[in-house]
C-alpha cells in the first residue's frame, strides 16, 4: 500500500508493473488469513486514511465491519509457506527482504546463518529490514552495511 501511495491512478500504474511481493510464513493458517485479505476495520485503524480510502474496499455481503484489500493490490502478492530453517525454493534475488521480529525465536548461531542466507538472496544494493531487537552478525557482516538502525544494504551497490 505504501508503495502504491494515496493517488489511485499512479498506484495502479505501479501495480501493473513488475513488482511482486512474496509473503511467507510457516503457518498455513496465517497464510490463509493473509490470502483472504479481509480484516476488521479496527485492525486497520493505524493505516493512514488516504491509503485506506484508496486500497481497501468494503468486505463481501455478510461481513459488516470488515474491509478487504483492493484486488489490484492483492494481485501483487504471492503467498507461500516457508520454513526459514529448511531449503528455500526461491532462486532469484530480491531487491528488498523484510524479516521483522522472527529471529527472536532462534539462537545466535541460527540467526547468523539466517541473516547470511538473506544477504546472499539480495541483489547488490538490495535492502534487508530486520526487527529492532535483532542484529546482523557473523559472516553476514561482510556482505551487509548498515544504513539505518534496522536497515542493511547488500554491499556491491548497483
Secondary structure of 103-143 in the HEC alphabet?
A: HHHCCHHHHHHHHHHHHHHEEEEEEEEECCCCCCCHHHHHC
Q: How confident is the model at residue 15, as a pLDDT? A: 95
CATH number of the domain at 83-154, please? 3.40.50.150
Q: Where in the chain is the domain with CATH 3.40.50.150?
A: 83-154
Separation of alpha carbons 157 and 14, rounded Å: 24
**Taking the alpha carbons of 137, 131, 72, 38 in that order, is the dihedral positive or negative?**
positive
**Residue among 50, 71, 58 nearest 7 (CA):** 50
Average pLDDT over residues 122-145: 94
20-74 confidence digits (pLDDT tens) = 999 999 999 999 999 999 999 999 999 999 999 999 998 876 677 899 999 999 9
Answer whether residue 127 shows pLDDT above 90: yes
Rounded-to-integer distance, Cα 53 and Cα 156, Å: 39
Amino acid at each position: 500500500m505504501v508503495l502504491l501511495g494515496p493517488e489511485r491512478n499512479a498506484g495502479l500504474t505501479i501495480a501493473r508493473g513488475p513488482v511482486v511481493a512474496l509473503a511467507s510464513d510457516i503457518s498455513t493458517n496465517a497464510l490463509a488469513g493473509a490470502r483472504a485479505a479481509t480484516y476488521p476495520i479496527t485492525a486497520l485503524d493505524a493505516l493512514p486514511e488516504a491509503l485506506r480510502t484508496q486500497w481497501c474496499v468494503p468486505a463481501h455481503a455478510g461481513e459488516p465491519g470488515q474491509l478487504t484489500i483492493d484486488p489490484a493490490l492483492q494481485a501483487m502478492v504471492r503467498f507461500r509457506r516457508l520454513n526459514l530453517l529448511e531449503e528455500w525454493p526461491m532462486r532469484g534475488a530480491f531487491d528488498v527482504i523484510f524479516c521483522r521480529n522472527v529471529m527472536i525465536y532462534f539462537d545466535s548461531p541460527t540467526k547468523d546463518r539466517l541473516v547470511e542466507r538473506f544477504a546472499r538472496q539480495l541483489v547488490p544494493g538490495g535492502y534487508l529490514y530486520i526487527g529492532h531487537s535483532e542484529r546482523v552478525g557473523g559472516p553476514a557482516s561482510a556482505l551487509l552495511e548498515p544504513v539505518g538502525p534496522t536497515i542493511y544494504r547488500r554491499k556491491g551497490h548497483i
